[in-house]
Amino acid sequence: MNVIPSPDNGPSLMLIEGSLTAIAFAVAFALPRLGSSWFARIERAFSQLARRKRLSVFAVGATAFLLRLAILPFCPIPLPFVQDDFSFLLAANTFALGRLANPTPALWVHFESIQITMQPTYMSMYFPAQGLILAAGKVLFGHPWFGLLVVNALMCAAFCWMLQAWLPPRWALLGGVIAILRIGLFSYWINTYSGGGSVAALGAALLLGGLPRFIRHTRHRDAIFMAIGVSILALSRPYEGLLLCLLAAVLLARWLFFAKSRPSLALVLRRTVLPLSIVLAAVAWLGYYDYRAFGNARTLPYTVDRAEYAAAPYWIWQSPRPIPDYRHEVIRDFYVNQELGSAMRLHTPGGLVKEELFFKPLRMFLFFAGFALLPPLIMLRRALLDRRIRFLVVSIAVVFSAVIVETWLIPHYFAAITPAFYALGLQMMRHLRQWQPGRQPAGLAIQRFIVTLCIALAALRLVAEPLHIGLAKWPSGSWASTWHGPGRMGLPREHIEDQLNQLPGNQLILVRYSPAHSSLDEWVYNAPDIDSAKIIWAREMDAANNQELLHYYEDRKVWLVQPDNDPVSLSPYPAQ
């Protein structure tokens, strides 16, 4: 990928995190009462805030929002740099124009790109929730990222609210704080436009927070929160979301028909008419969106694009599809060499075992816990036996089993059970806090030290670049890092757009890749209305097709971009 790298000659932040976690663990056994009076004072103040539940929820959301704004000088608004970013931004820009899809552009073969459908309409291949959030940010605040910022803050607040229904208040507040530190500030959920992890996790938190409250009190508002959560999941991560919703439905049915203190069926029906209407409206809107974007209300996002371009199977037991005829080598490289190549490694016994038993769980571990939150795992058995969170444990097991058999796995695939992960982790922390090996409060010290370490690591992440501390990068690294750092990726393309935006008139850019170009570094992405855009990005093809393109856009200044030159080359397009 042709990007401007930031210096990473020093140790990686992941290595620092692992080392500090080991030190904290050792100190907790050697000096278990270190700083105990100081920690006790902080915890008393923390508990006072936690007892004011609504204030706690607001404080978590406001802190997530304001902290991310405050660190913009260190971690600025991200640039799009990977295929999913551009795809979601196409959806955002389309929705911001007040429409659900765009007509297929003339000479569309020049504009074909990865994760974009061109027929029957020109649109993102993804479910619409993330695009709607980004569109709201663009319309209301002038930039799509601010929509993501708001949803990210709401997600952290919803985690706190959801956890209050399952755990004591101070542990729910701690869960909200950890969500800010581990997801809300630096992860790719906030530092890219991809995935929709925050919006799906928000939906899951609303569902899982409303569920036990509705069972206890049968309140109308709790049912509405659940309905909003279900609707968000339907529009963002419907596969994992549907599994979670089915589990919730089973729990509700068990309560409604078998619990001793169950309410009357008439009361439940009165409380659920409006919530069910919300869910039905969301599903109906999704069907209408599918009809407008993909030609049929029953044709879900993904399916058109995958049928047109993909050869790799979606599930690990499936055989590859016949390789389509591609019109561009870079698109073939992505779907055959990148996607199919990685998928076929799962069709060997060694590759299957290595990926399913090691790499996939490792990616989840690195994102959701890292090394800092590893010590509470020693209490996993006790937490799994707790009746308090048994439903959440079952939900984790079911959804994890359903997701792990997909060919690819990225952390936002688990967004629907991220709140449940947090509840399980906090329950392990509660048991750890009571652990006293040798009648020494080592467990209490470990719990205090790892929370302190999460805060210290977030502060260290702010100055990682000037200190030359390495961060996981795409594509050489992984999105699975909590401390995701896109750095200056996407700058070369952005610089060219800035340069051409300053020129009078409209511009046409033909992109010429070298034979060794990586398809992970795609440059051909465009605005929803290509013909009226100030800048159009197009693929260079054979002489006849190029001449047809130049003739169609004869009123534009034509440029040649060669992304694989060092530095990236921009020059007037040679006369044909």
Q: Enumerate residues 6+ apart whose C-beta is below 8 A from 517.
A: 330, 333, 563, 564
Q: How far apart are CA 420 and CA 393, in angstroms?
A: 7
Q: Specify the pLDDT at position 486.
A: 61
Q: Specify the pLDDT at position 300.
A: 93
Average pLDDT, the chain: 92
* Ordered alpha helix ranges (H), 218-264: 220-236, 238-258
Q: Specify the pLDDT at position 3.
A: 36
Contact 227, 203 (CB under 8 A): no
pLDDT, greater one: 381 or 575: 381
Q: Specify the pLDDT at position 559.
A: 96
Q: How far is CA 222 from CA 154, 161, 216, 272, 275, in A?
A: 17, 12, 10, 10, 9
Q: How far apart are CA 553 and CA 506, in angstroms?
A: 9
At 510, is the secondary structure helix, strand, or coil? strand
The percent of residues in the chain predicted with pLDDT above 90, rounded, is 81
CA dihedral 541, 543, 544, 550 (to 10 degrees): 80
Residue 265 in this model has a pLDDT that exceeds 90 = no
Rg of the chain on CA atoms, in Å: 25
* CA-based nearest residue to 205, from 168, 130, 155, 241: 155
Q: How far apart are CA 12 and CA 479, in angstroms?
A: 15
Q: What is the per-residue pLDDT across 39-86, written as a single tens digit (0 to 9) for each?
A: 999 999 999 999 999 999 999 999 999 999 999 998 999 999 889 999
What average pLDDT does range 294-305 have in this prediction?
94
Question: Cis link prior to 375 (omega < 30° from 0)?
Answer: no
Q: Specify the pLDDT at position 2.
A: 36
Residue 174 in this model has a pLDDT that exceeds 60 = yes
Number of domains in the chain: 1
Question: Six-digit token pair at 74?
Answer: 């260190």
Q: What is the per-residue pLDDT across 4-28, written as a single tens digit (0 to 9) for each?
A: 334 445 678 888 999 999 999 999 9
* CA-based nearest residue to 60, from 201, 148, 174: 174
User: Has residue 558 been placed in a domain?
Assistant: yes
Question: Six-digit token pair at 553?
Answer: 């856009």
Contact 570, 496 (CB under 8 A): yes
Residue 260 in this model has a pLDDT that exceeds 90 = no
Q: How far is CA 248 from CA 14, 88, 256, 282, in A?
A: 36, 30, 12, 18
* CA-based nearest residue to 200, from 143, 272, 146, 127: 127
User: Has residue 565 been placed in a domain?
Assistant: yes
Contact 129, 154 (CB under 8 A): no
Q: Specify the pLDDT at position 5.
A: 39
User: Has residue 511 been placed in a domain?
Assistant: yes
User: Has residue 58 been placed in a domain?
Assistant: no
Q: What is the per-residue pLDDT across 349-365, written as a single tens digit (0 to 9) for each?
A: 888 888 888 888 888 88
User: Has residue 416 been placed in a domain?
Assistant: no
Residue 478 in this model has a pLDDT that exceeds 70 = no
Give the domain range for residue 533: 491-572
Question: Six-digit token pair at 477?
Answer: 């690294």
User: Has residue 503 been placed in a domain?
Assistant: yes
Band (233; pLDDT cuts 50, 70, 90): very high
Q: Specify the pLDDT at position 474.
A: 40
pTM of the predicted model, to two decimals? Answer: 0.94
User: Has residue 525 been placed in a domain?
Assistant: yes
User: Has residue 148 been placed in a domain?
Assistant: no
